[in-house]
Amino acid sequence: MILSAQTIRRIKPIKPFVERTKEFGMTYGLSSAGYDIRIAQSIKIEPKDFVLASSLEEFNMPNNVLAYVKDKSTWARQGLFVQNTVIEPGWKGFLTLELTNDMQIIPRYLEKGMPIAQIVFHFLDEPTEQEYSGKYQNQPSGAQLPLFEK
């Protein structure tokens, strides 16, 4: 089940938590069935390039909620894509965003605080007994490179 604005507002899995707000000509914060997050640093993405960035918001996922990271349509219509990923129940930290500029000749400039992606939250059928406890738990702010198991 996809969570409504009122349920997301009640559980507040993101901080800082804000109601729907507009900046840089785009919305962020709580939507009718999700939450739009912002980028934590200013970056330039060259054409056909891939970069890592971080969310300005910090997550604290309940053990009965899973979320999907999705493209924000304004950016997708311009060829800038956020690699879709899953935020596991029990995960805590700042989200690392994987960004791709699919344009052939136009670089993209993103300023700190710009809305960048949308998060869609889902309830599990019951709270999980296996909360996330992997290598990205309590991830700090700033783009995190991949960590490989030893």
Q: Which of 23, 46, 58, 98 is catalytic?
A: 98
In the chain, DSSP assigns E strands to 14-15, 21-23, 26-31, 34-38, 43-45, 50-60, 65-71, 80-82, 85-87, 92-101, 108-110, 115-123
Active site residue 98: yes
Dihedral (CA of 112, 29, 90, 128) sign: negative
- Which residues participate in catalysis according to the annotation? 98
